[in-house]
Chains A and B, each alone.
Chain A
Amino acid sequence: MSITPELDARFRAAAIQEGIVDVRYDVVDSPVGDLLIAATDRGLARIHYEPEGQEDELARVFGLRVLRSPLDDVRRELDEYFEGHRREFDLPLDLRVAGFNGDVLTELARVPYGVTTTYGALAAKVGHPRAARAVGMVMNRNPIPIVLPCHRIVGANGSLTGYGGGLPAKKLLLELEGATLPL
């Protein structure tokens, strides 16, 4: 005998309601594949292109009380974005990144919808014009891709270079936003 889905859902909702969960997560489908989304009381904390097996990392960073639970606000804003009805996200973020990495992600968040810029230009914005490669590393470890738009950062010659979710995903996001792609 197993518990019913209703009982399972009731427990998860009661746990969230009581505020005894460190981080909650869910898996949502999207045009760029299944995504894991995770949030704390402070806001959206993670988007992962690899939804399986992230519980340990979530527990390490945010606390052991990891629970799967629907994240309706995040899902809705992502859906609207993928349908082309949303150009900016209104979700609060829980971004536990400081120093250079934090500065880079803050600047990244300002890159507008449908616009691409380069790793070097982003480096210059944070006062380290020669740190293009270090900026690339920060993009590579971006905890909240799509919402923090690292897909809008391209190489100096206009090439797409790399992307955590794979180059086809990067291309799809830029096309969705109507950005001019390099040939």
Chain B
Amino acid sequence: MAPLESIPPFERFYLAHRDEVYRYLRKLLGARAEDAWQETFLRALRAYDRLEHGRHLRAWVFTIATNVAMDELRARPSDNLAPTREPAVELRRDAFRELEHLTDRLPPTERAAVVLRYGYDLGYAQIADALGSSEEAARAAASSGVRRLRRTHEHHA
């Protein structure tokens, strides 16, 4: 039997992820990120002694952060644009860097999907977990977000 990856002491997990989770929440929530960041790590700490192994801890904490951010955005929506139905598009990393500053104009789910995919390199299965949706829906949200980013970019260019 392969040994399970052991779970690090919480302090080490916290130091490894606190800054990138904060940057992620800043992208989703702007100035509202601080409370969401604290809530994210409190939720992680509450659940930490029930973890069964130490795999995917990074994806796990991003999932928690996404849940906290979605709750916050649903409670106080910053914008709400209708979803679109168009073919899937992907983005190269360098292209994302050019568009990254526009992500705060996306609706919450698209914003989370795009940032997790292109900003943090998470796979669609992990993004689906984070969003509490199907993998297909996660892919669609990212795709729709990319198209919207491009339109916004062209509009401002």
Query: Using a CB–CB distance below 8 Å, which chain A residues touch chain B?
Result: 1-3, 7-8, 10-11, 14-15, 18, 20-22, 55-56, 58-59, 63-68
Partner of A10, one of B7, B9, B11, B38: B38
Contact digits for B2-34, partner A, Cβ 8 Å, 1 yes 0 no: 000001111110100011001100100000001
Given that A1-B19, A2-B22, A8-B18 are contacting pairs, would A68 and B11 also be in contact in the complex, using a CB cutoff of 8 Å? yes
Residues of B contacting A15 with CB < 8 Å? 41-42, 45
Query: Smallest CB–CB gap between A182 and chain B, Å?
Result: 42
Query: Smallest CB–CB gap between A61 and chain B, Å?
Result: 11
Rounded to whole angstroms, the CA-CA distance of A58 and B12 in the bound complex is 12
Residues of A contacting B49 with CB < 8 Å? 22, 63-65
Q: Which residue of A lies closest to B7 (CB)?
A: A64
Could you list some 25 contacts between A and B, CB below 8 A?
A: A1-B19, A1-B23, A3-B22, A7-B22, A7-B34, A7-B38, A11-B37, A14-B42, A15-B45, A20-B45, A20-B46, A21-B45, A22-B49, A55-B11, A58-B9, A59-B9, A64-B49, A65-B10, A65-B45, A65-B48, A65-B49, A67-B10, A67-B11, A67-B14, A67-B45
Query: Using a CB–CB distance below 8 Å, which chain B residues touch chain A?
Result: 7-12, 14, 18-19, 22-23, 26, 34, 37-38, 41-42, 45-46, 48-49, 51
Taking a contact as CB atoms under 8 Å apart, the answer to whether A64 and B26 are in contact is no
Given that A14-B38, A20-B42, A65-B48 are contacting pairs, would A55 and B19 also be in contact in the complex, using a CB cutoff of 8 Å? no
Q: Which residue of A lies closest to B23 (CB)?
A: A1
Q: Which 4 A/B pairs are nearest by Cβ-Cβ distance? A: A66-B9, A59-B9, A55-B9, A2-B19
Taking a contact as CB atoms under 8 Å apart, the answer to whether A7 and B14 are in contact is no
Task: How many A-B residue pairs have C-beta atoms within 8 angstroms? Tell me.
Answer: 61
Rounded to whole angstroms, the CA-CA distance of A3 and B37 in the bound complex is 9
Residues of B contacting A59 with CB < 8 Å? 8-10
Taking a contact as CB atoms under 8 Å apart, the answer to whether A64 and B22 are in contact is no
Partner of B48, one of A2, A11, A64: A64
Taking a contact as CB atoms under 8 Å apart, the answer to whether A66 and B11 are in contact is yes
Query: Smallest CB–CB gap between A19 and chain B, Å?
Result: 10
Rounded to whole angstroms, the CA-CA distance of A2 and B14 in the bound complex is 13
Taking a contact as CB atoms under 8 Å apart, the answer to whether A18 and B14 are in contact is no
Most buried by A among B10, B14, B19, B37: B10
Taking a contact as CB atoms under 8 Å apart, the answer to whether A3 and B10 are in contact is no
Q: Which residue of A lies closest to B12 (CB)?
A: A55
Q: Apart from A64-B7, A64-B49, A64-B51, list 4 A-B contacts with CB within 8 A.
A: A11-B37, A22-B49, A56-B9, A65-B49
Residues of A contacting B10 with CB < 8 Å? 21, 59, 64-67
Partner of B26, one of A1, A10, A22, A65: A1
Residues of B contacting A21 with CB < 8 Å? 10, 45
Taking a contact as CB atoms under 8 Å apart, the answer to whether B41 and A11 are in contact is yes
Rounded to whole angstroms, the CA-CA distance of A11 and B14 in the bound complex is 11
Rounded to whole angstroms, the CA-CA distance of A58 and B10 in the bound complex is 11
Rounded to whole angstroms, the CA-CA distance of A149 and B4 in the bound complex is 40
